[in-house]
Amino acid sequence: MEYFRSGLKSVLGAPPPDQQITGAETVERLVSRVSTSTLLEDRRDACRALKALSKKYRVEVGAHSMDVLKQVLELDRSDCEIIGYCLDTLCNITSKEPFEDENESTLPVNINIGEQFTEMFIKNTENVALVLNFLEEYDFRVRWPAVKLLTSLLANKPKEIQDIILVSPMGVSKLMDLLSESREVIRNDALLLLINLTKSNANIQKIVAFENAFDRLFEVITSEGLTEGGIVVEDCLILMLNLLKNNTSNINFFNEGSYVQKIYPMLILPANIEEIGWSPQKVSNMHCVLQLIRTLVNPNNPVHIITACQKSIRNANILEALCNVLMASGVPADILTETINTVAEIIRGNLTNQEYFANVMAPSTPPRPAIVVLLLSMVNEKQPFQLRCAVLYCFECFVYKNEIGQGQIIQTLLPSSLGTADVTTGQLLCGGLFSNDSLSNWFSAVSLSHCLIDNPAQKEQLLRVMIATNLGTQAVSLLQQNVTYLQQSNRLQSKIGILMLLSMWLAQCQQAVQIFLNISGAMAFLTAQTSASEYDNNEELIQGICAFIMGLCVVFNDNSVQNYSKENLSHLIEKRVGIETYCKKLNEISRHEVYAKAAKQPQVLARHSSDLLLEFEFCKLFKSFEGVIINALGVQRDLHNGISELSLSEHENALLLQYKELIRDQDKKLQDLQKAFTNSQREKDMLKNELEELRQGNSQLNDQNTLLKAQLAANSNSIQTLDNVASPLVESISTAVPYISKNANEEEKQKLIQDLQETKEELDRLRKDQEDLLELLTDQDCKMNVLKNRLRELGEEVDDDSENGSNSENEL
Amino acid sequence: MSYAYLFKYIIIGDTGVGKSCLLLQFTDKRFQPVHDLTIGVEFGARMITIDSKQIKLQIWDTAGQEAFRSITRSYYRGAAGALLVYDITRRETFNHLTTWLDDARQHSNSNMVIMLIGNKSDLESRREVKKEEGEAFAREHGLVFMETSAKTAANVEEAFINTAKEIYEKIQEGVFDINNEANGIKIGPQHSPTNPSLPGATGSSGSQGGGCC
Ligand SMILES: Nc1nc2c(ncn2[C@@H]2O[C@H](COP(=O)(O)OP(=O)(O)O)[C@@H](O)[C@H]2O)c(=O)[nH]1
Ligand SMILES: [Mg+2]
């Protein structure tokens, strides 16, 4: 407020161009006309003029007219025209965006005027309720600007407006009714308003859904032509997304309410899609539909919700429709990518859906399984990076918790099935593993490692896989080839991919460890990497994973390879690497920023291909075996006398882990407490302010009280004097009356009676005044007491001089 | 999947009386002994049969919102039924019933069926509110009454189903305007809106397989 006044003063005070003076003066004149004019027509004209000035002279209009505008909204609510002007004016002065012809040269650039005026307007929440009520007025001149004003207020103060609307009964339903508006411009603006209103507020999202939002929105979408429709369709979908994102309750409702089926028609491509092509709007709409589906089956949702949604999505033939999109030609790459990601999450961990997907055939010659066609893209350098990432994700989801699927893929690599006519998934992955494209290497390694997750049988099967490296040379085992590749290659991404594959392979598989230890040079390579003291450019990751693999070889060691028995290996680590160094290397992994990124979600997310280093399932594996490895090395304590963590006894180690856990817990508690503390602090500040306000109110009331007392005293005095004057008069009159009548001096008597009358009246008036004042005084006293009590509640000492008031009352 | 009618319910009452547990028992047939705010069962649905008609119940639990009654108020208008729950082992939850009832009556459509529920009937030894008191309160305010236990499942089915029966009867009597969705009632996709009371109208032969719930 103050800000504006001073801002305004500077506008008026500075030696300004004439025009500005006139503008400000005009505004003032108009404001006074609105507030004083008794004729509706005059007020209406003035409001119309204010509206016209409210862009150019926004500060002036805002600073001067806020109160009269509110007054009009309340008192003239039956006149749609004037209300329309008012709402429009408010809309302009609270607009978040500056106007082109706005006169703002004299204002500091950084104050957001719209926000300041919004704050002034919503300070009294009744004002917002008032605007909400205008939504019920059918007249276009009122309803439309009411929607726009709410949008503007919301843009400036989202949190506050959300809270106000949330607690105003029927607030949300009034907005929801607008979705059935026949005047499209209102409906569309209401849609935008709802999109902003539902952002990150679960309670509003729930109410909007309860108010049949999904029915309304699907009605609009259908009437607008589904995904062929315009931006309104996109807006409807965005609103739905808002309602569902991270809102389990609404997702459940959406699924239970059979809305999933209504998505299906939006996924059907017209038969002539290749002729008509994909308009930008169609692409946007389709994106939203895909997001909508993904929101339902997002891996972060509770498992039972995911499973239920995956089932209804399949039953509604949506999986089928999406697979058709995958196989259609002419689909833009980004839509294709997102479709693959969507299919991925629909089948993830759901056996029925995975089986369905396994049987989808691509219309190629010869017909190939869709999964093969997809993998072809993954290991093809010419395909867009994001598309390749999506295929990896889809493949991962296809084998996730799918023992049969994992087995089938590995099966295609075994001698028995080699020599089949067409290319297989396994061949593609093995080919990709050692191709010249390091990204293909990485994708293929990760894909293969996912076929091994929690599947010891396949880890053993994979040991049987032989590959021919060069024409004519003898075939070597896949495991051997991996080691050879590691020794020879200097490509970071490829090496990390293969090391992650080895980790997955060796973990929980003693047979694989045994064969690995027998490969000549394997251990030497790992030892050299782990003990290296220098590295550049993410090589610490390679060294870390090498250390990890060494650890796995200790943990899953059946002591069948004499040189590398559990004990010998531990010894090797201690002597050649050093326990300190070893732990440091291991730590490099989880400390690395790519670890934190990859561990966040199953989907591989990266901007650039070089960002792809660690992967989600590897991070999980690392997390679950890091402690185990350290423990296992700790058992060999007698082998050395270091003072590192590893020199601790098993018991001590367990204790250490316990303490680590404890510290983590306490860390979390500390954070929680800090948060709580900040909240309390804020609350305290609020209470302090309130207290201050109350104090001020109190002192004002005290002043008023004193004033009233003084007036009271003065009145009592004058009453006394009047009484003094009156009684002798009355006396003299009573003695005079007989005399007068005797003398029959009518005139004299008349005059005296009149005098008497007047005196009496004066007396009465004063008495009444006194009574009024007394009443007021009592009133004030009550208020004072309330305030004092409130102050006491807030823990404030209050001096108890209220007796004065009651005393003086008693005296009278 | 197909249903003749869909009814929207809300569950209201003080914190801790067992609203979430009642819903969980009804939809999932299980009991969550620890007060776990994370289960977040805020919405649940189930199909029931009345008069050989499939009726879908959609139930909103006003969990955690007792402190913000004004939020709960937003749900009254669109609900066909409300379960007003108190805890028979905590008298104050019974004492607060009038406030809840006033709120509900003021903000709901006048036909909303309210079922009064005294929950935790399994805790007989800690009972603070007599069954007769619940009955008397219900009689006085024209509510249906029942004591339930979300723990043993006693009367839980009945509570939800009897409420639905009451709503169903009101529909038969033509009290409810079933074409107005704001009343918390929807007619199933295959059912003629014009003669809802036609007995056995076109059954419930769903187009989709795999029934839910
Ligand atoms: N013994 C018993 N405990 C119950 C029953 N219903 C709920 N509870 C317990 O009461 C507590 C509160 O239940 P909850 O459903 O979260 O209450 P809400 O706040 O009304 O949703 C939980 O600890 C439940 O385990 C019941 O019928 N019998
Ligand atoms: Mg609850």
Span A358-386, average pLDDT: 93
- Residues 6 or more apart from A442 whose CB is under 8 A from it? A493, A494, A496, A497, A612
Indicate whether A94 belongs to any domain. yes
Span B39-48, average pLDDT: 77
Span A297-305, average pLDDT: 94
CA B153 – ligand 1 centroid, Å: 12
Query: Which has more pLDDT, A290 or B204?
Result: A290
Q: How far away is chain B from the Cα of A586, in angstroms, using its nearest Cα?
A: 35
Q: Is the dihedral of CA A551, A552, A554, A560 positive or negative?
A: negative
Query: Which has more pLDDT, A719 or A790?
Result: A790
The answer to whether the Cβ–Cβ distance between B44 and A252 falls below 8 Å is yes
Does one domain contain both A33 and A105? yes
A156-160, A192-196, A498-502, A757-761: segment of lowest average pLDDT: A757-761
Q: What's chain B's Rg over C-alpha atoms?
A: 17
Question: Strand, helix or coil at B55?
Answer: strand
Question: In this prediction, what percent of chain A has a pLDDT beyond 70?
Answer: 85
Question: A498 pLDDT exceeds 80?
Answer: yes
- Give the ligand 1 atom nearest the CA of B31: 25
Question: B212 pLDDT exceeds 50?
Answer: no
Question: A702 pLDDT exceeds 80?
Answer: no
Question: A17 pLDDT exceeds 60?
Answer: no
- Residues A373 and A366: their CA atoms lie apart, in Å, by 11
Would you state the pLDDT for residue A280?
Answer: 95
For the full predicted model, state whether its pTM sits above 0.90: no
- Let me know how long chain B is: 213
Output the 3-class SS for A444-481.
HHHHHHHCCCCCHHHHHHHHCCEECCCCCCCCEEHHHH
Interface predicted TM-score (ipTM) over 0.95 = no
Is residue A248 less than 8 Å (CB to CB) from chain B? Answer: yes
Q: Give the residue from A80, A83, A87, A79 showing the smallest Cα distance to A54.
A: A87
CA A451 – ligand 2 centroid, Å: 42
Nearest residue (by CA) to ligand 1, atom 1, is B120
Does one domain contain both A606 and A671? no
B156 with B124: CB under 8 angstroms? no
Would you state the pLDDT for residue B174?
Answer: 87
Q: Tell me the two tokens of residue A357.
A: 């997907």
Span A129-145, average pLDDT: 95
Q: What mean pLDDT is reported for chain A?
A: 86
Q: Give the residue from B86, B129, B78 showing the smallest Cα distance to B104.
A: B78
Does one domain contain both A463 and A513? yes
Query: Which has more pLDDT, A810 or B143?
Result: B143
Does one domain contain both A610 and A674? no
Does one domain contain both A782 and A707? yes
Would you state the pLDDT for residue B201?
Answer: 39
Q: What is the full DSSP assignment across A256-283?
A: HTT-GGGGGGGGPPPTTHHHH---HHHH
Indicate whether A141 belongs to any domain. yes
Question: A129 is in which domain, residue-wise?
Answer: 24-197
Query: Which has more pLDDT, A800 or A351?
Result: A351
CA B87 – ligand 1 centroid, Å: 9
- Residues A614 and A671: their CA atoms lie apart, in Å, by 29
CATH code for the domain of A186? 1.25.10.10
Query: Which has more pLDDT, A396 or A759?
Result: A396
Domains identified in chain A, total number: 3
Q: Give the residue from A508, A590, A616 showing the smallest Cα distance to A552.
A: A508
Indicate whether A550 belongs to any domain. yes
Q: Tell me the two tokens of residue A254.
A: 């959406």
Does one domain contain both A669 and A637? no
- Residues 6 or more apart from A298 whose CB is under 8 A from it? A306, A345
Does one domain contain both A485 and A556? yes
- Residues B92 and A185: their CA atoms lie apart, in Å, by 51
- Give the ligand 1 atom nearest the CA of B13: 20
Would you state the pLDDT for residue A12?
Answer: 37
A328 with A269: CB under 8 angstroms? yes
Question: B2 pLDDT exceeds 80?
Answer: yes
Indicate whether A9 belongs to any domain. no
Residue of B21, B31, B83, B156 with the most ligand 1 atoms within 8 Å of its CB, for mutation: B21
Phi, psi of A541 (to 5 degrees): -65, -45
Mutation target among A162, A180, A205, A252 for the B interface, most CBs of B within 10 A: A252
A170-174, A250-254, A324-328, B86-90: segment of lowest average pLDDT: A170-174
Ligand 1 close to Cβ of residue B149 (< 6 A):
yes
The answer to whether the Cβ–Cβ distance between B71 and A253 falls below 8 Å is no
Using a CB cutoff of 5 Å, list residues around ligand 2, an ion: B 19-20, 63
Does one domain contain both A623 and A485? yes
* Listed residues A136, A168, A197: the one ending a domain: A197
The answer to whether the Cβ–Cβ distance between B68 and A167 falls below 8 Å is yes
Long-range contacts of A363-371 (CB under 8 A, 24+ apart): A363/A327, A366/A422, A368/A422, A368/A423, A369/A425, A370/A323, A370/A326, A370/A327, A371/A395, A371/A398, A371/A425
Per the rule left: phi > 0, alpha: psi between -120 and 50, beta: everything else, A391 is: alpha
- Residues A802 and A19: their CA atoms lie apart, in Å, by 56
Listed ranges A54-68, A235-249, A660-674; the one with the highest mean pLDDT = A235-249
- The angle at the Cα of A348, spanning A343 to A351, to the nearest 5 degrees, equals 110
Indicate whether A179 belongs to any domain. yes
- Let me know how long chain A is: 812
Question: Strand, helix or coil at A369?
Answer: strand
Would you state the pLDDT for residue A216?
Answer: 94
Would you state the pLDDT for residue B137?
Answer: 97
Ligand 1 close to Cβ of residue B83 (< 6 A):
no
Instruction: Tell me the pLDDT tens digit for each residue of A20-74.
Output: 556 778 888 899 998 888 899 999 999 999 999 888 888 888 888 889 999 999 9
The answer to whether the Cβ–Cβ distance between B71 and A167 falls below 8 Å is yes
CA B62 – ligand 2 centroid, Å: 7
B68 with A167: CB under 8 angstroms? yes
Question: Strand, helix or coil at A404?
Answer: helix
Question: B159 pLDDT exceeds 70?
Answer: yes
Bridge partners of B83?
A: B11, B115
A148-152, A403-407, A668-672, B27-31: segment of lowest average pLDDT: A668-672
A52-61, A584-593, A658-667, A686-695: segment of lowest average pLDDT: A658-667
Does one domain contain both A638 and A738? no
Question: Looking at the partner chain, which of B40, B78, B182 has a beta carbon nearest the beta carbon of A249?
Answer: B40
Would you tell me how many other CB atoms lie within 10 Å of the CB of residue A424? 20
Q: What is the full DSSP assignment across A635-697?
A: HTGGG----SGGGS-HHHHHHHHHHHHHHHHHHHHHHHHHHHHHHHHHHHHHHHHHHHHHHHH
A137-141, A246-250, A738-742, B84-88: segment of lowest average pLDDT: A738-742
End-to-end CA distance of chain B: 9
Those of residues 98-127 in B touching chain A at CB distance below 8 A are 107
Query: Which has more pLDDT, A230 or A59?
Result: A230
Span A76-104, average pLDDT: 87
Question: Looking at the partner chain, which of A169, A212, A315 has a beta carbon nearest the beta carbon of B210?
Answer: A315
Would you state the pLDDT for residue A365?
Answer: 81
Chain B CA closest to residue A168: B70
The answer to whether the Cβ–Cβ distance between A167 and B70 falls below 8 Å is yes
Does one domain contain both A628 and A489? yes
Span A489-507, average pLDDT: 95
Nearest residue (by CA) to ligand 1, atom 26, is B120
* Listed residues A175, A197, A219: the one ending a domain: A197
Q: Where do the H-state alpha helices sit in A744-794?
A: 746-793
Phi, psi of A362 (to 5 degrees): -90, 145
pLDDT-based confidence at B183, cuts 50/70/90? confident
A317 with A264: CB under 8 angstroms? yes
Does one domain contain both A538 and A679? no
A466, with CB counted inside 10 A (0-12, 13-18, 19+), is middle
Indicate whether A380 belongs to any domain. no
Would you state the pLDDT for residue A143?
Answer: 96
A544, with CB counted inside 10 A (0-12, 13-18, 19+), is buried
Q: Tell me the two tokens of residue B67.
A: 């402190």
End-to-end CA distance of chain A: 45
Span A665-673, average pLDDT: 84
- The angle at the Cα of A776, spanning A774 to A777, to the nearest 5 degrees, equals 60
Q: Where do the H-state alpha helices sit in A328-382?
A: 333-347, 351-358, 370-378
- Residues A20 and A179: their CA atoms lie apart, in Å, by 43
Span A732-743, average pLDDT: 59
A501-510, A727-736, B128-137, B175-184: segment of lowest average pLDDT: A727-736
pLDDT-based confidence at A707, cuts 50/70/90? low
Question: In this prediction, what percent of chain A has a pLDDT beyond 90?
Answer: 56
Would you state the pLDDT for residue A697?
Answer: 79
The answer to whether the Cβ–Cβ distance between B43 and A256 falls below 8 Å is yes
Instruction: Tell me the pLDDT tens digit for each residue of A114-127.
Output: 888 999 899 999 99
Listed ranges A106-115, A461-470, A743-752, B119-128; the one with the highest mean pLDDT = B119-128
Ligand 1 close to Cβ of residue B139 (< 6 A):
no
Indicate whether A31 belongs to any domain. yes
- Residues A407 and A457: their CA atoms lie apart, in Å, by 8
Query: Which has more pLDDT, A344 or B39?
Result: A344
Indicate whether A327 belongs to any domain. no
Ligand 1 close to Cβ of residue B151 (< 6 A):
yes
A455 with A403: CB under 8 angstroms? yes
CATH code for the domain of A719? 1.10.287
Residue type, B161: I
Does one domain contain both A693 and A730? yes
Residue type, A145: P
- Residues B201 and B203: their CA atoms lie apart, in Å, by 5
* Listed residues A642, A673, A704: the one ending a domain: A642
Would you state the pLDDT for residue A716?
Answer: 65
Q: Tell me the two tokens of residue A304.
A: 């039972």
Span B190-194, average pLDDT: 54
CA A176 – ligand 2 centroid, Å: 27
